[in-house]
Amino acid sequence: MSASGTLEHRLRVPFAPLLLFCNLTDIILLAWYTVCMTKQDLLKLQNGSDIRGVALEGVEGEPVNLTEEACLKIGAAFALWLGKKTAKPLDQLTVGIGRDSRISGPALEVAVAKGLIDAGVRVVRCGMATTPAMFMSIVFDDTHFDGSVMITASHLPFNRNGLKFFDSDGGLEHEDITAVLELSDALDVKKISAADISKSGVYNLIDAYAAHLRRAICTGLGAGEGDKPLRGLKIVVDSGNGASGFFVDKILQPLGADTAGSQFLEPDGSFPNHIPNPENKAAMKAIQDATVKNGADLGLIFDTDVDRMSAVLSDGSEVNRDAIIAMVAAILAPDYPGSTIVTDSVTSDRLTYFLQDVLGLTHLCYMRGYKNVINKQKELNAAGTVCPLAMETSGHGALKENYYLDDGAYLAVKLIVALAKAARDGKKLDSFIEKLPPLVEEGEFRFKITAERFKEYGASVLKTFEERAHHNGYVMPKSYEGVRLSFKEGDAQGWILLRMSLHDPVMPMNIEGARNGDLAKLVKIAQNLMAGFDELDVSCLK
């Protein structure tokens, strides 16, 4: 079908909001009627700045809602959105598509490709890829796509899947995803499904991406092409059967590293060994055991689509959450003295001490949500405040030097370069964070809100919580999300953070005790502050 569509397509009523978004060509393309999926069904697929849904049967109570039909429509709608954003004719746009190892990935890839082709854009299918690689496909000279789509649901269970979108400005924002889904509501799947998938091109993106990462390691270590700068280092990788297996045979091994003991490298969307998630305890235990058993200098673990990572030191100590932020910040600090590090709200007072008192940096403890911390990082740099790193405790970390892209593999490259340099000086990687105070006691409590208007009720709880804390004379540092209490002196030392969940009718509370026994004392303080909320279930705090 041409980019102008056909005259037999009819406008849907009411349609006025979409008319404001589109030119005449777009209007003709959008005038496809569907009765299969409602607008509400499509909008429910939005998860922040991503699209997520159930793509496979097999889990009771979780009916499939991310269907091939939905992906056909969403693919076509993304083409229309991108055409409007770039002001280019659709037949002059190129969009790349990649996927992780999920079982539903190939079928959804075909569906998205058909939708894009039917809208009139050129499609290049990249096969097994990573989320960061799909953004880099817009940057690389050999590809230079106008937009890209990654089919992934990150660390979620095998039956889930989703879509992430990129253009030259990076990942789409929340409002962009809403616009794409609203556009897709006007499209008729019957008019899309006949698209010829053979019209798509094919490109081995993961090879280009791996070459990019190899060059970064060589540059960091002053090595030339063909050198083996990682010779003498033993690095173990756990891919969890996600999309990161290439890191071993396309990056580490060609540069001379010993990777014996690496595990679960083969892509398998049933995830038979453990969930590919650095925050998962079983996953972390697996890489810790592999690192110690094989006498490795470093262990690396990635999530399914490789935009997150964590590490393990030679003695099996895990480097995640606060520690991975501290590690990356310490590596960057000499090149960015006095700079600002942006983190999410649940980072520890221990991290603030390390960043500010040890490294001489500024810690901006901001909000949950990887897009939130990255956008704050961009805002600070645009305003003249040097901010080389924005990172969540989940392992999402974006570097200014790397297009503000949350790229787990690139973070791993920074650790590997630091490891190699430390080894030359007779040191270990843990020397970077030897002055980070250890975690002693912590707890997370999730309070379910039973009120129908849960956001309003949660706001009232936070207001009362803050008033009670103020009345008791507790120290409340500036907080961009929820209410934070800091206890640096006295009988109980540590911190408490109460906030609203980003999406759910839940109020999480994080508590960390600085010394043995402090957690229980802080829980008692929290119990007093949380008393009397009739529509909030705080029973887990007892």
What does the alpha-carbon distance between residue 113 and residue 125 come to, in Å, rounded to a whole number? Answer: 8
Report the pLDDT value the prediction gives residue 368, as an integer from 0 to 100: 92
119: tokens are 């809208």
**Integer angstrom CA distances of residue 40 from 36, 184, 189:** 12, 11, 16
170: tokens are 């990076």
- Burial string for 57-92 (b: 16+ CB within 10 Å, else e) reads eeeeeeebebbbbbbbbbbbbbbbbbbbbeeeebee
- Judged by DSSP in three states, 442 sits in strand
Evaluate whether 125 touches 200 at the Cβ level (below 8 Å): yes
Determine the length of the chain: 542
Q: What is the pLDDT of residues 63-99, one digit of tens each?
A: 999 999 999 999 999 999 999 999 999 999 999 999 9
Q: What is the pLDDT of residues 517-533, one digit of tens each?
A: 999 999 999 999 999 99
What does the alpha-carbon distance between residue 238 and residue 262 come to, in Å, rounded to a whole number? Answer: 6
Closest by alpha carbon to 331, among 359, 365, 311? 359
- Judged by DSSP in three states, 309 sits in strand
Evaluate whether 243 touches 101 at the Cβ level (below 8 Å): yes
What does the pLDDT profile of the chain (542 residues) look like in tens digits?
A: 333 333 223 233 333 333 344 444 444 444 433 345 788 899 999 999 999 999 999 899 999 999 999 999 999 999 999 999 999 999 999 999 999 999 999 999 999 999 999 999 999 999 999 999 999 999 999 999 999 999 999 999 999 999 999 999 999 999 999 999 999 998 887 777 778 888 899 999 999 999 999 999 999 999 998 899 999 999 999 999 999 999 999 999 999 999 999 999 999 999 999 999 999 999 999 999 999 999 999 999 999 999 999 999 999 999 999 999 999 999 999 999 999 999 999 999 999 999 999 999 999 999 999 999 999 999 999 999 999 999 999 999 999 999 999 999 999 999 999 999 999 999 999 999 999 999 999 999 999 999 999 999 999 999 999 999 999 999 999 999 999 999 999 999 999 999 999 778 999 999 999 999 999 999 999 999 999 999 999 999 98
SS3 per residue for 229-295: CCCCCEEEEECCCCCCCHHHHHHHCCCCCECCCCECCCCCCCCCCCCCCCCCHHHHHHHHHHHHHCC
Evaluate whether 511 touches 486 at the Cβ level (below 8 Å): no
Evaluate whether 38 touches 70 at the Cβ level (below 8 Å): no
Residue 298 belongs to what H/E stretch?
Answer: strand 298-302
What does the alpha-carbon distance between residue 71 and residue 282 come to, in Å, rounded to a whole number? Answer: 33
> Residue 3: left (phi > 0), alpha (psi -120 to 50), or beta?
alpha
Based on the number of CB atoms within 10 Å of its own CB, is 207 exposed (0-12), middle (13-18) or buried (19 or more)?
exposed
Report the pLDDT value the prediction gives residue 15, as an integer from 0 to 100: 34
Give the pairing of strands 340-343 and 389-391.
parallel
pTM attached to this predicted model: 0.90
SS3 per residue for 364-404: EECCCCHHHHHHHHHHHHHCCCCCCEEECCCCEEEEHHHCC
Write down the H helix ranges in 193-242.
205-220
What does the alpha-carbon distance between residue 357 and residue 482 come to, in Å, rounded to a whole number? Answer: 25
Q: What is the pLDDT of residues 328-347, one digit of tens each?
A: 999 999 999 999 999 999 99
Report the pLDDT value the prediction gives residue 36, as an integer from 0 to 100: 53
- Judged by DSSP in three states, 125 sits in strand
Q: Tell whether omega for the bond before 14 is within 30 degrees of 0, i.e. cis.
A: yes
Closest by alpha carbon to 402, among 414, 390, 410? 410
Report the pLDDT value the prediction gives residue 20, as an integer from 0 to 100: 42
